[in-house]
Structure 1
Amino acid sequence: MRPFDPRLLRYASAARWFLSVGALLGLAQTVIVIAFSWLLSQSITLAVTGASQTDLASTTAALAGVVVVRAALVWLLEVAATRGAAQVKSQLRRQVLERVSERGPDWLSIRASAGVSTLVTQGLDALDNYFARYLPQLLLAGISTPLLILVMLWQDLPSGITVIVVLPFIPVFMVLIGQATQSVQRRQWESLQRLSTGFLDLVGGLGTLKIYGRDRRQFARVRTITEDYRARTMKVLRVSFLSGFVLELVASLSVALVAVSIGLRLVDGSLALGVGLFVLLLAPEAFLPVRQVGAQFHAAADGLAAAEEVFAILDETETETETETETETETATGAAPAEPRAASTPAAAPAGRGHADAGALRFEHVSIRRGTDAPVHDFSAVFRPGELTVVVGPSGAGKSTLVAALQGFIPFDGRILLNGVEQTPGTPRPWLAWAGQRPGLFQGTIADNLALGDASVDRGTVTRSLECAGADDLDPATMLGVAGEGLSGGQAQRVAAARALYRAETHDCAVVVLDEPSSALDEAAEGTLVAGLHRLATRGRIVIVVSHRPALRDAADQIVALSEVAHV
């Protein structure tokens, strides 16, 4: 765990702003500290030597002014740190969410979604301590300490040399303590993620556990994970308090060495009182930033651990993008791709349509590779407006993979064109409405679920969409619980299909894709949904359904069949 990760500057421009402002404020604060120490030592010297009240009053007034300025600079540094932390957190959260959106559910399925949620919420919130406490002290250690040592060398060479000799002991202890803290903090962060993931899994499967009478057995599991997190948190606190004590002890002994040296030379008259007081006041200030860096490192450890995971996600996607670019370059220069293990082929698309294919969605020699497998290889097909197309094929033939490529969530070779315009991975799809195999409903009314992401709800469109999806028996004002609680499986599936139909109408989407929309529906509900999809297609939209159901196959205007073909 590095004290400062340069990737923070690359992914958060607000961090560069904060470092610039923090460096200027740190320099000004150092100058004020020097002025404060000088004026205070002069005030004491004047009072001891019996100077006039006029001279003493002017020096005291200047000292009071310096105190006010110093307080203002400390306040400004805290304000800059707070605003910098808020902006950096917003920028990092936005980039992580953009990456999740770009990579899609296929990428998120290989990561713990609860861990990602914890990371972008509570994890990044820990950056407040990093910016408000740790980073300002790190800046002061790099700016203030060297300047103060130079002033001490200029005023009293022995004291300056003493500080230079003893100062490195603090970083040595910081490194040793930091290594222990890093290990403890990392385990504590992993324990928090296990707690979050385990609790989310428990809530998601609570219905199944209760049916099988295994719900009470989870009490012990949750208690064990919670106790583990509590114990690790207390261990982190013990290490933090112990390290703080060690750093304070080392710094106090170092200042004591300077004080003893100055005291002895004041007694024998080899050092002036004003100079001795000035250097003695500067000595703690020279040690303070370095000491605070070690003490505040523990407060910032949570934020640093979370930031490292954020950078890992962002670096991972950048590496994948570079790899894809290199692969495309090799293909363009004639490098032969590896032979796929599996392939998929569609039913032959009708040829010779000419201008009739205007506005069509085209797949031209699309291949999708995942590791060493190629679930989709050299796929070509045409999906036309006004037609209901059903994509069929055995499990593993690449149907869902093909939909993910259409959504732009995964990279592919070949071309996908809509009305002659090429659609590339990772770009927005405002022309697409989609309903997946999982309904993906949230807490709120059915109408709010249909108008997902819209600023307002069109009540008329909600009613029509529910009717087309065969869900006209549901009241749009019905309040649902978490994950659509309150609906049966078939009802939830119809609401998800209605959401795609709602988006298609309100956003004028040219393409509507439904993945297994009738797997939980009875024959009557399925017939209503099929009729609604036909009406949607007759309005000039491209309707694509992935399904194994005979009713949808029989109603299709076009069937695209995917099949597994082994290459020898």
Structure 2
Amino acid sequence: MDDPEAPARSSGRPVDPRLLRYARTSRLFFVAIGVIGLAQTAVVVGFAWLTTQAIVGAIGGMPVADLMRVLAALAAVVAARAGLLWLREAVSARAAARVRSELRGGLTSAVGRLGPGWLANRNSAQLAVTAGRGLDALDAYFGRYLPQLVLTVIATPVLIAVIWWSDWISGVTVLLTMPLIPLFMVLIGLATRAVQRAQWQTLRQLAARFADTVRGLSTLTVFGRQHRAASSIERVTENYRIETMRVLRVSFLSGFALEFLASISVAIVAVSIGFRLIDGSLALSVGLFVLLLAPEAYLPLRQVGVQFHAAAEGVAATDDVFEVLDAARALPPQDAASSASTTDAATSVAAERGILRARELRVRRGDSLLAPVSFTARPGTITLLSGPSGAGKSSVFAALRGIAPFEGELTLDDEQVPPPASWLAWAGQDAGLIAGTVAENVTLGASTDRVAGPAGERAVVRALTAAGAADLDPALELGVRGAGLSGGQAQRVAVARALFRHVNSGAPVVALDEPSAALDAETEAALWQSLRRVADDGATVLLVSHRESARSIADVLVDVRPRSEVTA
């Protein structure tokens, strides 16, 4: 499964074996559905047999008491059939919910293991669509397609065997006409998979385009290109409508083809039975019993083709999820161990702690290790990581945050670093703002009792002022991803969040990645002064910046070089 062609091969199978690997709940689901399917098959045979007995008995003058017993048994079978159908729906719905939860959790963990280097080459909006709507489509996959597939595997051979045992001529007829349905299912399924995949890719493209447009809307407005962006979204939306209608056309066509083939096959069986009933070579009870079972023999296989269309979107989404999970599974074992090293320590950090040491720290980016980095950052100092773009400065911060695997040693006060939530106040190049007020973005993650009331409001204002964003109203409502702010304003709010966390939660280490990239010289100078005061008050400040002005406030300068420049 680790080879690159595995996803392509497995996607053509009725059930992707990776589902059993990554969603253990599905194993029990298949067992339960198998038992229910066997019971449903028995009920179908019982229903046909009791119906035959009732009709033949009524024609042949069966005593009323005996006829009533047959009808009572028939009613019980009908009730059992309805109960089994309800039970199958309930089991399928619960299994779908649990598998969705498992796959979403696995997807989140896999993205964390793969790290920011991998994520930088992916579109986060497309991943969000996959984890959201895509996995929600598993309801149809588990609720309709898989139960029908299991029922087909169980019921079809059993019903053919019963028909053959009752009337071998009808059994041969069903056996010869049955392959027509799978043949057309394969042909139609190939077309369905192609158009469904195109629809899914168009939806992902639409989500990515919309997210990118919202993120850069302020810039587009400045340059007068917002209308062109709207036209682009409209064009992709129209493509999605066209792809959706194409999927519906193929679905209706396949449904018609399968129903037509099944009707013709049942008609052939019925004509054969009719001729033999006329010449007396077949008993009425046998002919009627076989005639009632013949549609049921074709029904499961026919329904598999119908339900495949309903489940196709979920299948396409799971292919994308499995691709990410396979990539994380392919990581060397030591990567997981080193990444986990940041989460296994104790969760409490004393307020006076803050000496952060890195010794020969080599962060893994993809399949390679970056150049080793060593530094000691102490309370009361500003440690500046400098170097060319791509050298790995942000990757060092990713290792601090526990989202990038690494080799070497990383300690806080000579102990293994605990989870970053307990000691790190961080702001990255991506502001990472959410829909809500400016104040809610600044206080994100803080306990409610510490941010409520006038004291919390004053702390927010102080953090914004220190970040050079005193002009922002804390009550200002922001849209998705902080829409409503310029790039520089969003960056200052992210810095304010880190400073608020340092003061509010006592996080001893403040790490800022290019905090002045979108600031003018005057605002940048004010920010450097604020960081100098934060460090002088006892914080351990780590800073990544390309600006020459950052060197004026740095106590320690760490030169991070690309791996190609490191001598052996």
TM-score (norm 1): 0.86
Cα 1:415–1:145, aligned 2, differ >3 Å: closer, same or farther? same
Correspondence list, 1:50-61, <5 A: 50-61=61-72
Q: Which residue is 1:346 aligned to? A: none
Q: Which residue is 2:359 aligned to? A: 364
| AA in 2 matched with 1:435 | A
Which deviations, in whole Å up to 9, do the C-alpha atoms of 1:226-274 show, x marking residues without a partner? Answer: 2322222222111111111111111112212222222222223232222
Deviation of residue 137 (structure 1)?
0.8
Asked if the contact 1:106–1:409 (Cα under 8 Å) also holds between the matched residues in 2, the reply is no
Q: Which residue is 1:272 aligned to? A: 283
Which deviations, in whole Å up to 9, do the C-alpha atoms of 1:40-59 show, x marking residues without a partner? Answer: 11000110001121111111
Distance 1:224 1:479 in 2: 30
Cα 1:380–1:506, aligned 2, differ >3 Å: closer, same or farther? same
- The one of 421, 425, 431 equivalent to 2:423 is 431
| AA in 2 matched with 1:553 | R
- The one of 98, 105, 109 equivalent to 2:109 is 98
Cα 1:379–1:222, aligned 2, differ >3 Å: closer, same or farther? closer
- The one of 491, 498, 501 equivalent to 1:500 is 498
Q: Which residue is 2:394 aligned to? A: 400
Q: Which residue is 1:351 aligned to? A: none
Distance 1:88 1:480 in 2: 34
Deviation of residue 489 (structure 1)?
4.1
TM-score (norm 2): 0.86
Which deviations, in whole Å up to 9, do the C-alpha atoms of 1:116-140 show, x marking residues without a partner? Answer: 1211122222222111221111011
Which deviations, in whole Å up to 9, do the C-alpha atoms of 1:51-88 show, x marking residues without a partner? Answer: 12111111111111211111111111112222222222
Cα 1:103–1:476, aligned 2, differ >3 Å: closer, same or farther? farther
Distance 1:305 1:18 in 2: 21
| AA in 1 matched with 2:402 | G
Correspondence list, 1:243-254, <5 A: 243-254=254-265
Deviation of residue 326 (structure 1)?
12
| AA in 2 matched with 1:385 | P
- Give 3-state SS (helix, strand or coil) of 1:543's partner: strand
Distance 1:160 1:280 in 2: 11
| AA in 1 matched with 2:451 | D
Whether 2:98 is the aligned partner of 1:87: answer: yes
Distance 2:519 2:328 in 1: 39
Asked if the contact 1:359–1:420 (Cα under 8 Å) also holds between the matched residues in 2, the reply is no
Asked if the contact 1:415–1:423 (Cα under 8 Å) also holds between the matched residues in 2, the reply is no
Q: Which residue is 1:320 aligned to? A: 331
Q: How many residues align?
A: 537
- Give 3-state SS (helix, strand or coil) of 1:4's partner: coil
Q: Which residue is 2:343 aligned to? A: none
| AA in 1 matched with 2:199 | Q
Correspondence list, 1:29-44, <5 A: 29-44=40-55
Which deviations, in whole Å up to 9, do the C-alpha atoms of 1:422-446 show, x marking residues without a partner? Answer: 459xx76543221012322222112
Cα 1:207–1:378, aligned 2, differ >3 Å: closer, same or farther? closer
Asked if the contact 1:511–1:543 (Cα under 8 Å) also holds between the matched residues in 2, the reply is yes
Q: Which residue is 1:128 aligned to? A: 139
- The one of 210, 215, 228 equivalent to 2:239 is 228
- The one of 16, 21, 31 equivalent to 1:10 is 21
Q: Which residue is 1:482 aligned to? A: 480
Q: Which residue is 1:334 aligned to? A: none
Deviation of residue 467 (structure 1)?
4.3
| AA in 2 matched with 1:410 | A
- Give 3-state SS (helix, strand or coil) of 1:381's partner: strand
Deviation of residue 96 (structure 1)?
1.5
Q: Which residue is 1:113 aligned to? A: 124
| AA in 2 matched with 1:192 | L
Cα 1:406–1:86, aligned 2, differ >3 Å: closer, same or farther? same
Stretch deviating more after TM superposition (472-481 or 224-233): 472-481
Q: Which residue is 2:565 aligned to? A: 566
Instruction: Provide structure 1 residue ranges, at least 5 long, that are not aligned to the other structure.
Output: 329-356
Distance 2:544 2:552 in 1: 13
Q: Which residue is 2:409 aligned to? A: 415
Q: Which residue is 1:542 aligned to? A: 540
- Give 3-state SS (helix, strand or coil) of 2:389's partner: coil
| AA in 1 matched with 2:209 | G
Distance 1:221 1:532 in 2: 42
- Give 3-state SS (helix, strand or coil) of 1:3's partner: coil
Asked if the contact 2:446–2:505 (Cα under 8 Å) also holds between the matched residues in 1, the reply is no
- Give 3-state SS (helix, strand or coil) of 1:225's partner: helix
Distance 2:218 2:246 in 1: 36
Asked if the contact 1:102–1:408 (Cα under 8 Å) also holds between the matched residues in 2, the reply is no
Whether 2:170 is the aligned partner of 1:159: answer: yes
Q: Which residue is 2:201 aligned to? A: 190
Deviation of residue 468 (structure 1)?
3.7
Deviation of residue 470 (structure 1)?
4.1
- Give 3-state SS (helix, strand or coil) of 2:464's partner: helix
Deviation of residue 203 (structure 1)?
3.0
| AA in 2 matched with 1:288 | L
- The one of 168, 179, 196 equivalent to 1:168 is 179
Deviation of residue 17 (structure 1)?
2.8
Correspondence list, 1:508-523, <5 A: 508-521=506-519
- Give 3-state SS (helix, strand or coil) of 1:377's partner: coil
Instruction: Provide structure 2 residue ranges, at least 5 long, that are not aligned to the other structure.
Output: 1-11, 340-351
Distance 1:493 1:373 in 2: 31
Deviation of residue 531 (structure 1)?
4.8
- Give 3-state SS (helix, strand or coil) of 1:305's partner: helix
Distance 2:338 2:531 in 1: 39
Q: CA RMSD in A?
A: 2.9
Stretch deviating more after TM superposition (248-257 or 387-396): 387-396
